[in-house]
Amino acid sequence: MSEPKRDRWGRYILTDPGTGEEQPWVRATTIAKTIDSMYGLHAWEKRMQMLGLAARPDLLDLAYASDPEDKKQLDELCEKALEAAKSSVKSHQGTALHKFTARLDSGQLSRSPAKWDEDLHAYLELKKREGIETHPLFVERITVVPALGCAGTMDRIVRHQGIPKIADLKTGGSLEHAQLSIAMQLAIYAHGAGLWNEQTGKWGQMPKGLSLTEGLVIHLPAGEANPKVYPVDLVKGWEMAKIARLVYDARKDRTYIRGLDGNDDESG
């Protein structure tokens, strides 16, 4: 298998399917989150940090002892407080379930503990009920979108009601506050210029007839065994993705105020 090269920011370094020139590509998730509201996530993190400090008085003592200007140490304490509140448990469980479903759709054994049987059975039943067909060749594939200068790994390309569609599997809680980023991300993938072949290190074709108007998000909250599927408006998602790219570039621009030094910021 040929894993694509990455630069120091973790961006894929891949050839442009059109020109053949190798270049780094901004992550599709970075573009999709550029104009998404992070208010809900940040509020949740603050609550978890408070609970973590309450559970770990030693961390609170370290906070008292820390230099207010030592951002690195304070950031590390915040991460430890989040962990003390067991904030990562749900995330880890969701990631595990996501990997189990990917193995199933790739024609492999899920290698999952028995406690996940109900979730995985419910997932397979949902696909059958909703007429969603998966194929091993279209699970977790990399694509690039030269129009936006970005690349990413899509969860699935499925066949739904006879039409190839981009599908995303979510194993977390509510999708309510993630609607915009999900729509943008799926729309970006739908406009991909090719599929990276990890064995040959070359580009293959996107499926013929891939829908540019509708994608799917499959919501499988970990531990609930109650998945649902929702259609995603890719027309709106694509329009917003183009706006997000403009905003991303605008944020990288360091020429608004003359006389200030430039900033070699993380490029996503």
Annotated domain spans of the chain = 5-36+135-252, 42-84
Q: What distance in Å separates the CA atoms of residue 85 and residue 8, rounded to the nearest whole number? A: 31
Residue 245, token pair as written in the block: 């790219």
E strands present in the chain? 5-6, 12-15, 22-27, 132-133, 139-145, 150-160, 163-170, 195-197, 202-204, 214-219, 228-233
Q: For every one of its 268 residues, what pLDDT tens digit does the chain have, with 9 covering 90 and above?
A: 467 889 999 899 999 999 999 999 999 999 999 988 777 777 878 888 989 899 999 998 988 899 999 999 999 999 998 888 877 788 899 999 999 999 999 999 999 999 999 999 999 999 999 999 999 999 999 999 999 999 999 999 999 999 999 999 999 988 988 899 999 999 999 999 999 998 888 999 999 999 999 999 999 999 999 999 999 999 999 999 999 999 999 999 989 998 876 554 555 5
Q: What is the pLDDT of residue 48?
A: 87
Q: pTM of this prediction?
A: 0.85
Q: What is the pLDDT of residue 242?
A: 97
